[in-house]
A and B are shown apart, each in its own frame.
Chain A
Amino acid sequence: MTKQFLLDGQPVPFDDGQTILEAARKAGHYIPSLCWHKDFPPHGSCKLCVVKAAGRHVSACATPAKEGWEVESNTPEINGERRGLLQMLFVEGNHFCPSCEKSGNCELQALAYEYEVLTPRFRHFFPDRPVDASHPDVLLDFNRCIFCELCVRASREIDGKSVFALTGRGIGKHLVVNAESGQLGDTDFSATDAAAHICPVGVILPKGTGFAVPIGERSFDVATIRSKTLKESS
């Protein structure tokens, strides 16, 4: 007999070694995430996949499922915490969605809709993060970085280049480019790299093609992030 745990009272089957997040999504239960990616080990930094398992807060992406566990995810309490995390991500960077090319394709924005982030809650940091336009084909807009490190990981592990890194701590943390000048144009980064296509938000964008896809035809115009994620996990 397959093992199972209870997620919000519903039985979820799992195989040994599967995380709560993977098992839940496979069984058609949505748990949100930003920094998780199927091609990489769990990172556990965005904390959006937070659930309560056996009375403790854990990251569903990094916690292996256990037989008989009772896990809470889609509850007002947990969803409220997720909303708070999203609100913090918005104030930590400079997110001006209306003129962001990623708008409508952006996972952070889609999650904000999903979790009804309707009003600002925290004071904006307004950090000063200049854009890097030195590369001929790709623009880096650090204003929108959420430190998920997907580009760092993809560049290192898939492209074998290590173009990106995070540096600094706490609120001083920021994304940097691995070149003496600090400029993307001085690396061997290419628009065909996996790292050029992995950003869940609008930091790494191809140059010159802004708004070519009209409103109404963008990924999250046609499906919610919940339904899109579940479809991809089934």
Chain B
Amino acid sequence: MSFELETAANRESLRRVAIDPVSRVEGHGKVTLLLDEAGHVREARLHIVEFRGFEKFIQGRPYWEVPVMVQRLCGICPVSHHLAAAKALDPVVGALTITPTAEKIRRLMHYGQVLQSHALHFFHLSSPDLLFGFESPVQQRNIVGVAGAYPEVARQGVLLRKFGQEVIRITAGKRVHGTGAIPGGVNKSLTAAERDELLQDADQMIQWSRDAVHLARRLHETNGSLYDEFGLFRSHLFSIVRADGALDLYDGSLRLRDARGQIVLDHLPCADYATHITEEVKPWSYMKLPFITELGAARGWYKVGPLARVQNCDFIPSPLAELERQAFVAHGEGEPIHAPLAYHWARMIEMLHAAEVIRSLLDDPDLLSDNRLAEGPRQREGVGIIEAPRGTLIHHYRVGDDDLVSYCNLIVSTTHNNQAMNEAVRQVARRYLDGRQLTEGLLNHIEVAIRAFDPCLSCATHALGKMPLAVELVNADGSLVDSATSGG
């Protein structure tokens, strides 16, 4: 794989265009394009400024604070950090396996999070682009526009998300920033009343999720040339999978497939992640670019998240989502699907799976048991890997005998996808922007490609359903030629 368009020759003589979404604490993203005089794209980069201070902040803190503290890393999937940290710290209290009650409650919490996050992303953030078109009037391209034109779709999106949040509230104590998972297990089981409350709506959620899968699927079936081609690039696929190859978003071992769908690495224990993943630093990006050590930087980068997971697993262990996976795979006609817009379809298949998992967990009497905590001889180190809504999330800690964290390393989903998102931006820049007069609609194509990955910088945009955007046209000498703002 090439890094074409990553760095242009004669950068000084090129015209620079920046797409600069407004900064938020969760992350700040920006795209820069360098154009030559004829308007040809010579360089395209996505920069994401990460808050790397967190690892430092956690060092020196007592380990039991960590699962609660790390939720502040991300405004949109705090539960994923909460659970990954608790998993990593289970061995520190000697819980090499946790109790069935603890595992099932954590799973319930996690799938609740996946459901609410996927619903939010699809309905609030992406459906305006998908339903109205990428160059539709910007006034319409938001959730309010969707509510006007497709009220039922918008309503289901809101209620799916609300259900996921209820699952989180009941398992973690609060809708956001709860405390449910603690090293060694959980601090709370479900009451029968709480379970029954969730049961009331659980079947409806499965139905609506299924409708959403079909909506995403129809986009590919009716507009294949756009949906299957937009921003297309091939890469490895990376995720955890269950020991039997099933999709599992809470636990498993590491698997890597190549762009043709062949398994390259399999059954790698999570604890060994550092041997297999190298994080490369490039001078132009704050965010590291990880690659698979065995394959090297040029070949070893990969995609994570729904598109990778749905194709990396051998099957989905819930009946309706498995049928949808099969339809998805069939669409690829024997080849893995790499189209960034297929993330939406895969994401909806996962949402359906999450709804099914929640429904079946609710029948499990273990959820009501008080057997919540496990312990054993203490370990000094732990790695917790979870498939967060956006992809593989790695937490790694060492804890001293004094109970303080002495080492912390986190690799978040958006970092795994850094190279892949840059590649998608370049593809779109080459195909749609090259040699043309730049308009808001054209620049939105770039954002559509980034949004497909649901990177964390979209935290900033979820609330409004549109990406606040500032575009600057700067001359080769750095002077501002023109600027415009939209969205926000």
Contacts and interface: CB of A to CB of B under 8 A. Distances in A.
A131 B403 CA distance: 11
A219 B69 CA distance: 21
A133 B402 CA distance: 5
Interface in B142-174: 172-174
Interface stretch (A13-21, A53-61, A93-101): A93-101
A133 B64 CA distance: 13
Interface in A123-157: 130-131, 133-134, 139, 141
Contacts of A134: 402
Contacts of B60: 130-131
A209 B179 contact: no
Majority secondary structure, A binding face: loop
Interface in A92-124: 96, 98-101
Interface string A70-101: 00000000000000000000000000101111
Contacts of A207: 62, 403
Given A98-B71, A98-B177, A216-B173, A211 B404 contact: no
A134 B404 CA distance: 10
Contacts of B180: 214
A171 interface: no
B236 interface: no
Contacts of B476: none
B72 interface: yes
A131 B187 contact: no
What 6 pairs between A and B have smallest CB-CB spacing?
A210-B64, A215-B173, A99-B69, A133-B402, A214-B188, A99-B68
Contacts of B173: 214-216
Given A99-B69, A131-B61, A211 B402 contact: no
A155 B153 CA distance: 64
B62 A214 contact: no
A7 B64 CA distance: 45
Given A96-B69, A141-B62, 4 more contacts: A99-B66, A133-B403, A139-B403, A210-B65
A183 B66 CA distance: 23
B182 A215 contact: no
Interface in B43-68: 60-62, 64-68
Contacts of B64: 101, 208-211
B56 to A, nearest CB: 13
B62 A210 contact: yes
B93 interface: yes
Contacts, number: 60
Contacts of B177: 98
B179 A215 contact: yes
7 contacts: A99-B66, A207-B62, A208-B403, A210-B62, A211-B68, A215-B174, A216-B173
A215 B178 contact: yes
Nearest to A132: B402
Contacts of A212: 182, 187
Contacts of A131: 60-62, 404
Nearest to B174: A215
Contacts of A215: 172-174, 178-179
A: contact size bracket = 20 to 34
Contacts of A222: none
A193 B67 CA distance: 29
A213 interface: yes
A100 B173 CA distance: 16
Contacts of A101: 64-65
Interface of A: 96, 98-101, 130-131, 133-134, 139, 141, 207-216
Interface string B69-88: 10110000000000000000
A218 to B, nearest CB: 10
Interface centre among B67, B177, B403 (most CB of A within 10 A): B403
A147 B402 CA distance: 25
A101 B69 CA distance: 11
A131 B400 CA distance: 14
A139 B405 CA distance: 13
Interface string B212-228: 00000000000000000
B203 to A, nearest CB: 28
A212 B400 CA distance: 21
Contacts of B179: 211, 214-215
B65 A100 contact: yes
Contacts of A98: 68-69, 71-72, 177
Contacts of A209: 64
B358 to A, nearest CB: 20
A99 B65 contact: yes
Interface centre among A139, A209, A212 (most CB of B within 10 A): A212
A52 to B, nearest CB: 39
A212 B402 CA distance: 19
Interface centre among A130, A141, A214 (most CB of B within 10 A): A214
A212 B69 CA distance: 15
A131 B404 CA distance: 9
Contacts of A214: 173, 179-180, 187-188
A211 B62 contact: no
B53 to A, nearest CB: 13
A214 B189 CA distance: 10
B127 to A, nearest CB: 32
Interface string B398-419: 0010111000000000000000
A133 B69 CA distance: 18
Nearest to B188: A214
A207 B62 CA distance: 8
A57 B178 CA distance: 41
Contacts of A208: 64, 93, 403
Contacts of A216: 173
A1 B458 CA distance: 71
Contact of B182 (A133, A139, A211): A211
A134 B400 CA distance: 11
Contacts of A130: 60
Contacts of B178: 215
A131 to B, nearest CB: 7
Interface centre among B64, B67, B188 (most CB of A within 10 A): B64
Nearest to B404: A133
Contacts of A99: 61, 65-66, 68-69, 72
Contacts of A213: 187
Nearest to B72: A98
